[in-house]
A and B are shown apart, each in its own frame.
Chain A
Amino acid sequence: MKSNLKAKSFKTNKNGYLKIVGALVALLLMIIVGILVFWETADSIDLSSADANASKNTTTDMATTVFDLLPIIALAVVASIIIGVIMGFGAGKI
């Protein structure tokens, strides 16, 4: 998944950084909305057997880990932009 290939188009886009900031805010908002939807759904499901509940708890535990890791995507995007700008220092075309 080379999702960052698309980001290369920002070098020819004057409003590229502004779009990235908007996308990051949208991403972070989507994460907390996702958390809201997931837990509301998971909590509304009552399972009858202990085995089923154990499986459900394992799934929700893993989901918690996933939700913890999701915002790191935003962090990585910001880091990649900063690194991209710094790498441009050597271009000498400013």
Chain B
Amino acid sequence: MKANKKTKLKNDKTGYLKVVGGLVALLLLIIIGVLVYWETQGSIDSFEAITTTYTEDSDGNTFTQWTGGTGSNSTGEIIKLDNSPDSFTYVRAWNGTGGGTAQACTAGTHYNSNGRYLQIVAGSLDNFTQVNVSYTSNMASSEDTASDMATTVFDLLPIIALAVVAAVIIGVVMGFGSGKRL
């Protein structure tokens, strides 16, 4: 693709002005593109890390404290998250809503995740009525990768302008020997 063939500046007295104008337009469009992309990306809350407090299981039943006897905590609790998690920042069980003591939870020991469902292992935690979960969703993780690549693309786009300027300079320098330019 010899995209610069069409420029033919030697036959156009205002050719360089047009090239400069085109380059400025290109660079302006790039920063407008960057603006539009990041404003759109930033406006979607689903791409943020999610921290949610749960006081009831996936069936809508409030957690019942377990003090060693038979209770909902002893049979395990299943929590339905808003999105499927990619990774957990933390899972904490509290023994009282709005206060009390937090019990840090470890994956495999205190909880297991399956898709959107988080299962608290039966009998592994005492007396909790509230579970706080902070996680990065699969959606946010995928978007993060796409945005990383978008950043690279936006970094490379101005190199087009650089290459065009280099082509013009080389064209002028090549004309030195022909005696028909400048």
Q: A residues bordering B, Cβ < 8 Å? A: 4, 7-8, 10-12, 14, 16-18, 21-22, 24-25, 28-29, 31-32, 35-36, 39-40, 42-43, 46, 53, 56-57, 60, 64, 67-68, 70-72, 74-75, 78-82, 84-89, 91-94
Contact = CB atoms under 8 A, between A and B. Distances in A.
* Chain B interface mostly: helix
A62 to B, nearest CB: 12
Nearest to B23: A17
Contacts of A64: 138, 141-142
Contacts of B70: none
Contacts of A7: 1
B52 to A, nearest CB: 14
A78 B44 contact: no
User: 9 nearest interchain CB pairs?
Assistant: A94-B171, A71-B149, A39-B139, A84-B1, A25-B33, A88-B4, A85-B163, A67-B142, A88-B2
B157 A24 contact: yes
Interface of B: 1-10, 22, 25-26, 29-30, 33, 36-37, 40-41, 44, 46-47, 83-84, 114-116, 137-139, 141-143, 145-147, 149-150, 152-153, 156-157, 159-160, 163-164, 166-168, 170-172, 174
Given A18-B25, A32-B41, A93-B5, A42 B84 contact: yes
A85 B3 contact: yes
Contacts of A16: 3
A42 to B, nearest CB: 7
B146 A21 contact: no
Q: Which of B37, B115, B146, B152 has the most CB of A within 10 A?
A: B146
A50 B92 CA distance: 27
A71 B149 CA distance: 6
B46 to A, nearest CB: 6
Contacts of A72: 149
Contacts of B37: 25, 28-29
A53 B5 contact: no
Contacts of B30: 21
A42 B86 CA distance: 14
Nearest to A25: B33
B114 A29 contact: no
Contacts of B145: 67-68, 71
